[in-house]
Amino acid sequence: MKYTLEERIQKVYEIAKEVYLGNISVSQGARIVADFGLKQSSALDYIYAYYKLREGKLYTRTINAYATDYYLKEIYYEFGNIGLRKALLSLDQHITYYEQTSGAKVKKGREIYNRYFDLVKENYAETVFPDEVDNEIKYFEGKTKQIIVNSYERNQLARQECIEHFGLSCQVCDFNFQEKFGELGRNFIHVHHLIDIATVGKEYSVNPKTDLIPVCPNCHAMLHKKKPAFSILELKQLIK
């Protein structure tokens, strides 16, 4: 029986879900998917992407735009806002990774991301950042580019996961903007990336609960007064 591309993707999604749940092995899933007319290597890519989308982690292999859209739609339908937020965090990291390694824009992927992000963007904590670049790190034949850790710090999905875990008070000095400024300061905080850029590999995947931490703008600036940055504990000790 011949399947359309859309039918293949829909069947692959169900098999990928079974692999994720541990009901079948990856190799079994890939063989089943191959019966639908996809090459086994492509089948592995689609299974792998589903796992990463469910976990909110970077995936580096590419799946087509229809599959990206279909996976997000089904994840949102089955797992609601929390599931979709994780999937979008994964997709955003994939787009950033692809654009930085290839130098090409992922316009269709970004359109899909923005469309689904509109469903979960309410009540996100706010922040203001300068347009910083690290002049000591070079990309693509010497072109200076915004460092990838800043993209993690700015990513609203990663920030929200971090803030839901730690709260909105600075984890260095305990300053809380809403307590000080009332409604004007509601949901305002910076988020600091704990991992030194020198240790971040090209396939690094951010974990919002272990790699990011909320800090006030003053402490954020002080953390970066040296390279590599001060640790949270070091800055707390300096304050004392």
Distances (CA, A) of 186 to 20, 60, 169: 38, 36, 11
Model confidence at 142: pLDDT above 60: no
Model confidence at 91: pLDDT above 60: yes
């709260």: which residue's tokens?
Answer: 167
Q: What are 215's strand-pairing partners?
A: 190
Question: What pLDDT, on a 0 to 100 scale, did the predictor assign at position 225?
Answer: 87
Task: Write the burial class of residue 212 (CB in 10 Å: 0-12 exposed, 13-18 middle, 19+ buried).
Answer: buried
pLDDT tens by residue, 106-129: 899 999 999 999 888 765 555 554
Cβ-Cβ contacts under 8 Å for 57 (sequence gap 6 or more): 90, 93, 205
Model confidence at 133: pLDDT above 70: no
Nearest partner of 58 among 28, 16, 101, 10, judged by Cα: 101
Cα of 59 vs its chain's centroid, Å: 10
pLDDT tens by residue, 41-58: 888 899 999 999 999 998
Alpha-carbon gap, residue 162 to 159, rounded angstroms: 5
pTM comes to 0.75
Q: In the chain, where are the structural domains located?
A: 5-117, 138-239
pLDDT tens by residue, 183-228: 998 888 998 988 866 566 667 788 888 889 999 999 998 998 888 8
Cβ-Cβ contacts under 8 Å for 101 (sequence gap 6 or more): 202
Model confidence at 98: pLDDT above 70: yes
